[in-house]
Amino acid sequence: MTPAISTVSEIEHAADEAFKQLASATDQFERYANPHALRIARISDEIARVFQMALQDRKSLRVAALLHDLGEAAMDRDYIQRAGTLSDEERIDLTRHPVIGEQEAARAGADRASYLLIRWHHEWWNGSGYPDALRREEIPLAARILRVADSYSALTDARPFRPALSEEKARREIVEWTGIEFDPRIVKAFLALEPISELESFAITEASVGSRTNRGWDLFSSFMKMSHCVLSEAPNDLCI
């Protein structure tokens, strides 16, 4: 009997399940107590919807979110799991993980758009990121989205070297680095998201419970007024 030919949706589902398994293994290697990559995938997709990204671009973004730190797992360094600060040598070594992740994701069957997003998910808005020191719109929109979603998810979960931050503190951290690490437009969209479970912090504090209202826009507005940066009309050099 000739085996049934898999449909495109069946193939995509099987690939997604395989990528989720890789994501879970990477989360465990990095010692996340809670699903990290899946949170990033959901938060990223919510932001992508704000920018009306095409479905295929959103699919590539999801794969990149799931596999974004595959390079860290492939490097298998003890310092990634260690409590305490990294040495200068370790920090330099760690900057290799997006390129290694790009290569590993390609081997795992990710599409080209996805593994390029993995390569660029540590690029900074002001050009001081790695590995290619891209800046502003040189960084693809999806990679800029991934940078914000990854940072927020990491900040609101416990790591070996620090406890989880409350939602309010994590949002303030994101705001403080807007125009430096993060694209202001992405931050604006992120802070205006409707509440979803993936935005809830794993910090068990009164602050995290109280911050589950959507206060993000107020935080962002006050920051932008202080820095005299009008998102829609300001010249680029005013929003660095």
Model pLDDT, residue 155: 97
Model pLDDT, residue 176: 98
What is the value of pTM for the model shown?
0.83
Long-range contacts made by residues 129-133, C-beta under 8 angstroms, separation at least 24? 129/181, 130/95, 130/98, 131/95, 131/96, 131/98, 131/99
How high is the mean pLDDT of the chain? 87
Per-residue pLDDT, averaged over 55-67, amounts to 98
pLDDT, one tens digit per residue, over 95-129 is: 999 999 999 999 999 999 999 999 999 999 999 99
Q: Please choose, from the candidates 134, 70, 139, the residue with its C-alpha nearest in 3D space to the C-alpha of residue 98.
A: 70
Out of 31-35, 150-154, 212-216, which region has the weakest mean confidence (pLDDT)? 212-216
Distance CA 118, CA 105 (A): 8
The domain locations on the chain are: 9-238
Which CATH architecture describes the domain 9-238?
Orthogonal Bundle (1.10)
pLDDT, one tens digit per residue, over 194-217 is: 999 999 999 975 443 444 444 444
- Amino acid identity, residue 128? S
Task: Kindly tell me if the per-residue pLDDT of 226 is higher than 80.
Answer: no
Model pLDDT, residue 4: 54
